[in-house]
Structures are given as structure tokens and as C-alpha cells.
């Protein structure tokens, strides 16, 4: 709308937005003496996003991509009413946002809050505007120009066959690590929590009921059954309180981390082999319904109560000695927060369903760049939710017992000695307020986020008396869509493996052949289940080793996406603008390669996998020592393998760039030939 | 008021698309079937063998 206003007014409005952006960001960045209000973060984020969208994305669209409203998109040319479909741009925006928004922008910023509120906030703002949104936007547009081809197909065509194979392997690897780490987040949120476990367990029969209702009673009435499912979930939360207050049922639902891990592994295998309509689809509907509503509610809650952030701008843990995860602010803050700033996984969505729905090339700006800005806003909300907690409480929840001590007194003494006062009585009162027996050592980010969210929600609606309900609502909200990711991710990986195995033995490639379904599902579940088990048994809480591994894998995928994007931009004879993707690429290479190096070779045993293995080997052996040594060596090998694969893509890409720029190689992009659109304005 | 109505309309369409109601309606139109248990079963048979929509982290 502001695009259409007259020039002096436009200059005035955007000048004011720039001033607010600069002022609010400066306050966020330099304010030190007393706690800061969350509205400063909201103002800085809103104005930075508005400027990024209005000016930077417009520059990219016009100067680099030359988006063309007259060029027919695959949704128009190949429209079949199934995959390819001309769709309203706001509908595609909502669809795309629902697909990219997961637990990442909630959990990553909560974990990175151990450095203080400032590093995460600045990275989320700058990372989204200059890297994450750019990646999503350019990959979406390039996929639209190639009939909706996937990232791996584009990598193969534009950077060479080796690049394509490596990108394919990297996607499988990232899926396995992603599924393990999100499963670990759920395990840590639900262990020894009868209320939470009951609520999440109930979502399985609720999803089955929804599936049967859709199939047998009211075919296709998904919105209706999602509302019904949501009401049943609220009932389950309320019922969970009853369970937790009665020793008999509470005992049944009080599960250890190991039992929960086994249950989740069995569940995910079952979800992967049963028909989609029965479990996966209804759970997906339910989780999306809850996700969109809760994110909206959280945004309203933050603006309504505009809470004060108690976490300082920086903590002492920027030196790498943090209890939540070990490692210095550079590079670890930048791989811990992936979704919310830049996430390689988004490039799979931008080159998956979304490009097949775009009606006009010009709409890729709103969908690609705009939806990522919305996801980044979710990350800012997560930072606020974590930082409204007293730092002592934040560290008591997020620190593993192996670091702060096994007992409440030992943990609070250690944390207080760090300069973040907290008492065992404070923690007991908080645990009681949220209906838990204890909140110590709840690593993984989800419980801390749930406490922060319950704090904000209870102040907006219901007061302290309903804090326990809000806390379990928040846990349910996170666990619900994490389990949806497990369902969908296991199935996606299964299809990819079946596709590959089909080249060896044809029946294995048939996605409806049960022996193949069972074999490939078992392979995938065993792979991520192994890493989950490793995390559960890790004396340092698992998150310390698995989250960085996930961050590295995700950012390496973003590196692949940026390699492909830069290659295409250079081939389009836009080399003088290649910095738009090249600078984020250099940053990604710097952070991920440095982080990988540290994770493999760092001399601090809490950081370096090999040092940790050596440390364990020299310490007195226990029954678990051999397994822990093997796990650390395996993690080092996986990190090294990912690094090597991405190095290959990088080298292949640089060869392409040099060849094209020097004129030795023909600059031929693999775009679909131009076809004039015939879509009417109304339909587009 | 018109803007509000338009926004509500788009929101409903978005939800219908996200929740596959629109996809089912298109399936019915494409196959000339009326909504029923067997039509819904056929809709899912068609979708069963397609790779599911990935959900991001």
C-alpha cells in the first residue's frame, strides 16, 4: 500500500520507520544499566522487517532476479488441480508459513539466550533480513522458473552431478539429525511429568478419532474436526492435572527419559507405516491449528503485557563456558539459532510444494521473503519468552545435572555463584505453580520456553492460578508439532530412501509395497533413534552435542542452497550483484566450518567430540564408557562427513563461477523457456 | 467493511487450503464425484503414494 503513496509522503513515512528502527535497535544494543522492556525488541524487529521487505527484497526482485509478472508460472502452465495449482498469494503465504514454522525458531533462540538477549536478537534480525529471507526468496523464484524443481535437482543441473548427489545425501543426513534432536526436546520436556505425558499421549487417540471421523462420519470436514480435536486436547490438558494429582494414575504416566525415547521411536515407526489419513494427516491438521492460534496469541500477549526482560544483554557465558551448551558466542550462537535467522531446511519447502502454487513470479517476494520475516518474528517472541524469566531460573531449568549438580541445593548454589541468584525454594515454588514436581535439568529449551510463555499468558488471561494450565498448554503445543515433524519427517526420508533403493531393486521403490515400507521406515527410525538414544544417555544432557550437530547440518544445507543460488545468479550475468547471496554464503561457511572444526577437534572436552572421547578413555571406566566413547567418535565422523560433502558442493560451485566469469564456460541456466501468461488479473 | 470481509474470505480460503479441504473439493470436481466415504477414501488413496508435505524444523 505504501508503494502506491505519493513520493514526499513515502519519504516521510519510510524516514520515520528508519528512525524508529535505528533508535529501537540502538536501545536494544547499548542499553545496559537496568532491565529492558520487550517492546523495544518488538519495535526494532517490526521496523527492520518493514525496511527489509520494502527496500531490500524489492531491490533483489528488480535488479537481480528480474521477476516478471508476464511470465507464466508452472502453476498456470502445468495446472492439474493436484500439485500444480494457481492459488491466491495470501493463501500460498499462509500455506508456506505453516510449513516453515516449526519448533526451531522457538527452541534455538531459547538455548542461545544463555549468551544474553542481545546476540540472539541481533542475529535473528540481521540474519533474517540479509540471509534467511534472501535464501527462501531466491530459491523459490529459481524453482518457479524450473517447473517447481527441488533443491537437489537444481543443484544437479546447475552445479553438476556431484553437487546433486551430495545435496541428496546431505538432505537425508540433516533429516536424521533433525528428527533425533526434536525427539530429544520432547523427551526432556515430558520426562517425569505425568501431566505433560498424559496430555501428549492423549493426542494419539484424538488424532485417530479425527481420522476416523473424517473418513466415516463427515468426509473432508477438516476445519470442523480440527476444532473438535482442539477442544478434546484442551480437555486432555485439564485431565492431565487430575492425573498428576492422583498417585495411582500419576505413577503410570511418570516415565523416565529412556522409556519415553523408546515409546517415541515405536510411535514414529507406527506413524510411518499406517495409512496417512489415519494418524499423520489428522495430527498435522491439529498441530497446525494449535500452532497458528498459539503463535498469534503469544504475539498479542507480548504486546499486551509488554514484559520486562530480566536476562542481561550479555552473560559471562559468551566465553564458551555456558551450561546450556558449550562453545563461544562465535560460531555457536549462529548455528544454535538457525530457523528464525537462516535455515537450510526452508530451501526444501521453497523448492517443494510452494513453487507449484505461485500464480505470478512477482508473488515470490511476498511468499518467500515475507513468510520468512514472519518466522523470524516468531523467533523474537521466543527470545522474549526466555528472557522474561529470571536468569537464575532460566539456567536452573536449562542446565544439565552433570554441570550444576545433582541436588536442588547444589544446582542453585552453582548458579547463584555464577551471579544469577536463585534458591531451591524459588524453583520449588515455580514447579508447584506450573504443576510439576521439579523444573531442574529440563534441558532442550522447550520447558524454559513453556515457563516463559505461561508467564506471559497467565498475566494476560487468568492470572497465576491458571499458570499450570498455560504451562502444559505450551508443552502440548511444542510437543504436538514436534511429533508432527517426526511423523512427516520419517515419511519424507522413507520416500527418499525408497526412491534411491528403487534404482537397485525396483519393488523397493514402490511406495505402496509393504515390505519396502517396513524396511525403509525401520532404517530411518533406527538411524534417528540411535542418535536420540545417545542424547538420552548423555550425562551432559544430549542437547550439548546434538543441537550443535543439528545446527551445523541445517546451516550446511543453507550453504548448499546459497551455492546453487549464487551459481544461478552468476549464470544469469548478474555477477556484479552476486554479493547478495555470496556474503551470506561466506558467513555460513565461516560459521559452520569453524563450528565443525571446534566440535571435532576443540581441546575442551565439553566442545570437542574427539577430546571428550579421549577424556573418557583416560578416566576410570564405567559400564557406559565404551558406548560414550563410540558415540563421540561417531558424532565427530558425522560432522566431518557433512563438512566434506558440503566442501565438494562448494568446490564444484566455485569452479562453475570461475568458468563462467572467465568466459571458459557457457553461462547457460536451466530455466523453462518463457511463456506469456494468460491469467487474468482477478485469477492471479 | 469490504476490506474486513475480504480479509475474512482470504483467511478462510487459507485455512481451507492448509487443512486440505480445498484439495478435496478440487478432487471431487476433477473426478466428478459427490462427497462421500468412498470419495474421501479415493482422495486419500491418490494422496497416499505422494511424498508428504515436509514440515520444517
- Taking only the tens place, the pLDDT of each residue in A380-400 is 999 999 999 999 999 999 999
Q: How far is B40 from chain A (nearest CA, A)?
A: 6
Count of beta carbons in the 10 Å neighbourhood of residue A308: 13
Return the pLDDT at A2.
54
**Cell reading at B19:** 487443512
**Are the Cβ atoms of A488 and B26 closer than 8 angstroms?**
no
**Are the Cβ atoms of B56 and A81 closer than 8 angstroms?**
no
Cα distances (Å, whole numbers) of residue A645 to A556, A560, A562, A588: 9, 10, 15, 15
**Are the Cβ atoms of A485 and B49 closer than 8 angstroms?**
no
User: What percent of chain A clears pLDDT 90, i.e. is strictly above it?
Assistant: 74
Alpha-carbon gap, residue A31 to A340, rounded angstroms: 23
Alpha-carbon gap, residue A296 to A98, rounded angstroms: 12
Chain B residues in contact with A350 (beta carbon < 8 A): none
Contact status of A178 with chain B (Cβ, < 8 Å): yes
Kindly state the greatest CA–CA separation across chain B.
Answer: 44
Chain B residues in contact with A481 (beta carbon < 8 A): 55
Rounded to the nearest angstrom, the gap between the alpha carbon of residue A596 and the centroid of all alpha carbons in its chain is: 19
- Taking only the tens place, the pLDDT of each residue in A473-499 is 999 888 887 888 888 888 888 888 988
Among the partner-chain residues B19, B46, B48, the one whose CB lies closest to the CB of A222 is B19
Residue A137, H or E segment: helix A133-144
* pTM, rounded to two decimals: 0.92
Contact status of A321 with chain B (Cβ, < 8 Å): no
**Cell reading at A352:** 517443494
Alpha-carbon gap, residue A430 to A214, rounded angstroms: 41
Which residue has 496430555 as its cell numbers?
A199
Alpha-carbon gap, residue A488 to A271, rounded angstroms: 9
Q: How far is A419 from chain B (nearest CA, A)?
A: 34
A418 contact partners, CB below 8 Å, separation of at least 6? A316, A395
Spatial CA neighbour of A288 closest among B22, B57, B25, B18: B18
Mutate to test the interface with B, among A88, A89, A91 (most CBs of B within 10 A): A91
3-state secondary structure A477-524: HHHHHHHHHHHHHHHHHHHHHHHHHCCCCHHHHCCCCHHHHHHHHHHH
- Taking only the tens place, the pLDDT of each residue in A213-245 is 999 999 989 989 999 999 999 999 999 999 999
Alpha-carbon gap, residue A479 to A106, rounded angstroms: 12
Return the pLDDT at A5.
67
Among the partner-chain residues A90, A178, A226, the one whose CB lies closest to the CB of B19 is A226
**Are the Cβ atoms of B56 and A226 closer than 8 angstroms?**
no
Angle (CA) A262 A514 A229, round 5°: 55
Residues 257-286 of A with CB under 8 A from B: 275-277, 280-281, 284-285
Cα distances (Å, whole numbers) of residue A103 to A100, A214, A248, A303, B18: 10, 27, 33, 22, 18
Region A318-346 average pLDDT: 94
Query: Which domains occur in chain A, in start order?
Result: 2-192+255-662 (1.20.1740.10)
- Taking only the tens place, the pLDDT of each residue in A502-511 is 989 999 988 8
**Cell reading at A356:** 507449484
Alpha-carbon gap, residue A48 to A318, rounded angstroms: 25
Cα distances (Å, whole numbers) of residue A255 to A179, A337, A438, A496, A624: 21, 30, 14, 34, 21
**Are the Cβ atoms of A345 and B15 closer than 8 angstroms?**
no
**Are the Cβ atoms of A488 and B55 closer than 8 angstroms?**
yes
Residues composing chain A = 684
Mutate to test the interface with B, among A96, A97, A98, A358 (most CBs of B within 10 A): A98
Q: How many CB pairs under 8 A join A and B?
A: 132
- Taking only the tens place, the pLDDT of each residue in A62-81 is 999 999 999 999 999 999 88
Q: Rounded to the nearest 10 degrees, how much is the dihedral formed by the CA atoms of A656, A662, A663, A664?
A: -60
For residue B12, the chain A residue with the least C-alpha distance is A91
Return the pLDDT at A603.
96
Count of beta carbons in the 10 Å neighbourhood of residue A480: 25
Spatial CA neighbour of A236 closest among A285, A203, A281, A283: A203
User: What percent of chain A clears pLDDT 70, i.e. is strictly above it?
Assistant: 99
Return the pLDDT at A176.
92
Chain B residues in contact with A289 (beta carbon < 8 A): 19
**Are the Cβ atoms of B39 and A219 closer than 8 angstroms?**
yes
Cα distances (Å, whole numbers) of residue A427 to A280, A412, A512: 37, 9, 51
Q: How far is B4 from chain A (nearest CA, A)?
A: 14
For residue A484, the chain B residue with the least C-alpha distance is B55
Chain A residues in contact with B51 (beta carbon < 8 A): 491-492, 495, 511
Give the 3-state secondary structure of residue A670: coil
**Are the Cβ atoms of B55 and A338 closer than 8 angstroms?**
no
Helix axes A151-159, A543-571, angle to 10 degrees: 50
Among the partner-chain residues A90, A352, A489, the one whose CB lies closest to the CB of B10 is A90
Strand partners, A71: A676
3-state secondary structure A394-425: HHHHHCCHHHHCCCHHHHHHHHHHCCCCCCHH
Rounded to the nearest angstrom, the gap between the alpha carbon of residue A261 and the centroid of all alpha carbons in its chain is: 21
Q: How far is A214 from chain B (nearest CA, A)?
A: 8
Give the 3-state secondary structure of residue A279: coil
Residues composing chain B = 57
Contact status of B34 with chain A (Cβ, < 8 Å): no
User: Which of the four pLDDT bands, split at 50, 70 and 90, describes residue A340?
Assistant: very high
C-beta pairs of A287-290 under 8 Å, 24+ apart in sequence:
A287/A480, A287/A481, A287/A483, A287/A484, A288/A98, A288/A226, A288/A481, A288/A484, A288/B18, A288/B19, A289/A226, A289/A227, A289/A229, A289/A230, A289/B19, A290/A230, A290/A233, A290/A476, A290/A477, A290/A480, A290/A481
**Please, are residues A518 and A512 in contact by the beta-carbon 8 Å criterion?**
no
Q: How far is A247 from chain B (nearest CA, A)?
A: 36
**Cell reading at A520:** 525403509
For residue A94, the chain B residue with the least C-alpha distance is B14
- Taking only the tens place, the pLDDT of each residue in A141-173 is 999 999 999 998 999 999 888 888 888 888 888
Q: Does position A541 have pLDDT exceeding 80, yes or no?
A: no
**Are the Cβ atoms of A103 and B57 closer than 8 angstroms?**
yes
What is the average pLDDT score of chain A? 92
Return the pLDDT at A495.
87
Q: Does position A597 have pLDDT exceeding 90, yes or no?
A: yes
A263 contact partners, CB below 8 Å, separation of at least 6? A255
Cα distances (Å, whole numbers) of residue A511 to A275, A499, A504: 12, 8, 15
**Are the Cβ atoms of B41 and A349 closer than 8 angstroms?**
no
**Are the Cβ atoms of B40 and A338 closer than 8 angstroms?**
no
Alpha-carbon gap, residue A665 to A677, rounded angstroms: 32
**Are the Cβ atoms of A214 and B40 closer than 8 angstroms?**
yes
Alpha-carbon gap, residue A660 to A589, rounded angstroms: 22
- Taking only the tens place, the pLDDT of each residue in A242-292 is 999 999 999 999 999 999 999 999 999 998 888 888 988 898 888 888 888
Spatial CA neighbour of A369 closest among A586, A131, A583, A106: A131
Alpha-carbon gap, residue A367 to A50, rounded angstroms: 15
For residue A496, the chain B residue with the least C-alpha distance is B51
Return the pLDDT at A543.
84
Q: How far is A282 from chain B (nearest CA, A)?
A: 9
**Please, are residues A561 and A139 in contact by the beta-carbon 8 Å criterion?**
yes
Return the pLDDT at A119.
97
Amino acid at each position: 500500500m505504501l508503494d502506491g503513496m505519493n513520493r514526499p509522503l513515502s519519504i516521510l513515512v519510510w524516514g520515520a520507520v528508519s528512525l524508529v528502527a535505528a533508535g529501537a535497535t540502538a536501545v536494544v544494543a547499548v542499553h545496559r544499566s537496568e532491565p529492558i522492556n520487550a517492546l523495544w525488541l518488538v519495535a526494532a524487529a517490526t521496523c527492520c522487517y518493514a525496511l527489509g521487505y520494502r527496500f531490500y527484497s524489492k531491490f533483489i526482485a528488480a535488479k537481480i532476479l528480474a521477476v516478471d509478472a508476464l511470465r507464466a508460472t508452472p502453476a498456470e502452465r502445468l495446472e492439474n488441480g493436484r500439485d500444480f495449482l494457481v492459488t491466491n498469494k495470501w493463501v500460498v503465504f499462509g500455506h508456506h508459513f505453516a510449513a516453515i514454522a516449526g519448533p526451531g525458531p522457538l527452541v534455538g533462540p531459547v538455548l542461545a539466550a544463555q549468551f544474553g538477549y542481545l546476540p540472539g536478537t541481533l542475529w535473528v534480525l540481521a540474519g533474517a533480513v540479509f540471509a534467511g529471507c534472501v535464501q527462501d526468496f531466491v530459491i523459490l523464484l529459481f524453482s518457479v522458473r524450473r517447473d517447481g524443481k527441488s533443491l537437489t535437482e537444481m543443484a544437479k543441473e546447475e552445479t553438476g552431478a556431484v553437487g546433486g548427489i551430495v545435496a541428496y545425501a546431505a538432505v537425508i543426513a540433516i533429516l536424521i539429525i533433525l528428527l533425533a534432536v526434536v525427539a530429544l526436546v520432547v523427551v526432556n520436556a515430558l520426562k517425569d511429568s505425568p501431566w505433560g505425558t498424559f496430555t501428549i499421549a492423549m493426542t494419539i487417540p484424538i488424532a485417530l478419532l479425527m481420522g476416523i471421523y473424517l473418513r466415516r462420519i463427515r468426509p473432508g470436514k477438516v476445519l470442523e474436526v480440527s476444532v473438535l480435536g482442539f477442544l478434546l486436547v484442551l480437555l486432555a490438558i485439564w485431565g492431565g492435572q487430575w492425573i498428576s494429582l492422583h498417585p495411582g494414575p500419576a505413577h503410570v504416566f511418570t516415565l523416565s527419559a529412556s522409556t519415553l525415547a523408546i515409546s517415541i521411536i515405536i510411535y514414529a515407526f507406527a506413524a510411518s507405516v499406517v495409512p496417512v489419513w489415519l494418524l499423520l494427516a489428522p495430527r498435522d491438521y491439529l498441530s497446525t491449528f494449535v500452532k497458528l492460534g498459539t503463535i498469534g496469541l503469544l504475539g498479542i500477549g507480548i504486546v499486551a503485557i509488554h514484559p520486562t526482560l530480566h536476562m542481561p544483554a550479555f552473560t559471562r557465558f559468551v566465553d564458551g563456558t555456558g551450561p546450556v551448551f558449550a562453545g563461544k558466542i562465535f560460531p555457536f550462537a549462529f548455528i544454535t539459532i538457525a530457523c528464525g535467522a537462516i535455515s537450510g531446511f526452508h530451501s526444501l519447502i521453497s523448492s517443494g510444494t510452494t513453487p507449484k502454487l505461485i500464480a505470478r513470479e512477482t508473488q515470490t517476494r511476498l511468499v518467500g521473503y515475507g513468510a520468512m520475516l514472519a518466522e523470524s518474528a516468531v523467533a523474537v517472541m521466543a527470545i522474549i519468552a526466555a528472557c522474561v524469566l529470571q536468569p537464575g531460573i532460566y539456567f536452573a531449568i536449562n542446565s544439565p545435572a552433570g554441570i550444576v549438580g545433582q541436588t536442588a541445593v547444589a544446582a542453585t548454589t552453582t548458579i547463584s555463584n555464577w551471579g544469577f541468584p536463585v534458591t531451591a525454594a524459588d524453583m520449588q515454588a515455580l514447579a508447584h505453580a506450573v504443576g510439576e514436581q521439579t523444573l531442574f535439568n529440563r534441558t532442550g529449551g522447550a520447558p524454559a520456553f513453556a515457563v516463559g510463555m505461561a508467564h506471559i499468558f497467565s498475566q494476560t488471561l487468568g492470572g497465576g492460578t491458571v499458570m499450570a494450565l498455560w504451562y502444559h498448554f505450551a508443552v502440548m503445543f511444542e510437543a504436538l508439532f514436534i511429533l508432527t515433524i517426526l511423523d512427516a519427517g520419517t515419511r519424507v526420508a522413507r520416500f527418499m530412501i525408497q526412491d534411491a533403493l528403487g534404482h537397485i531393486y525396483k519393488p523397493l521403490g514402490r511406495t505402496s509395497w509393504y515390505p519396502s515400507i517396513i524396511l525403509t521406515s525401520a532404517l530411518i527410525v533406527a538411524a534417528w533413534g540411535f542418535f536420540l538414544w545417545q542424547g538420552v544417555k548423555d550425562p551432559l544432557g544430549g542437547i550439548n552435542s546434538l543441537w550443535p550437530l543439528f545446527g551445523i547440518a541445517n546451516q550446511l544445507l543453507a550453504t548448499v542452497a546459497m551455492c546453487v543460488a549464487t551459481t544461478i545468479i552468476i549464470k544469469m550475468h548478474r555477477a556484479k550483484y552476486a554479493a547478495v547471496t555470496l556474503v551470506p554464503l561466506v558467513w555460513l561457511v565461516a560459521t559452520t566450518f569453524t563450528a565443525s572444526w571446534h566440535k571435532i577437534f576443540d581441546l575442551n572436552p565439553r566442545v570437542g567430540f574427539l577430546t571428550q572421547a579421549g577424556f573418557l578413555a583416560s578416566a576410570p571406566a564405567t559400564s557406559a564408557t565404551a558406548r560414550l566413547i563410540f558415540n563421540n567418535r561417531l558424532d565427530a565422523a558425522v560432522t566431518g562427513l557433512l563438512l566434506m560433502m558440503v566442501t565438494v558442493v562448494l568446490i564444484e560451485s566455485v569452479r562453475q563461477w570461475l568458468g563462467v566469469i572467465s568466459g571458459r564456460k557457457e553461462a547457460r541456466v536451466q530455466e523453462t523457456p518463457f511463456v506469456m501468461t494468460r491469467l487474468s488479473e482477478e485469477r492471479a | 467493511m469490504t476490506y474486513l470481509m475480504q480479509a475474512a474470505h482470504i483467511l478462510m480460503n487459507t485455512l481451507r487450503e492448509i487443512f486440505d479441504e480445498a484439495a478435496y473439493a478440487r478432487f471431487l470436481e476433477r473426478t466428478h464425484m459427490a462427497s462421500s466415504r468412498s470419495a474421501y477414501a479415493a482422495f486419500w488413496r491418490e494422496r497416499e503414494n505422494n511424498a508428504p508435505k515436509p514440515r520444517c524444523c
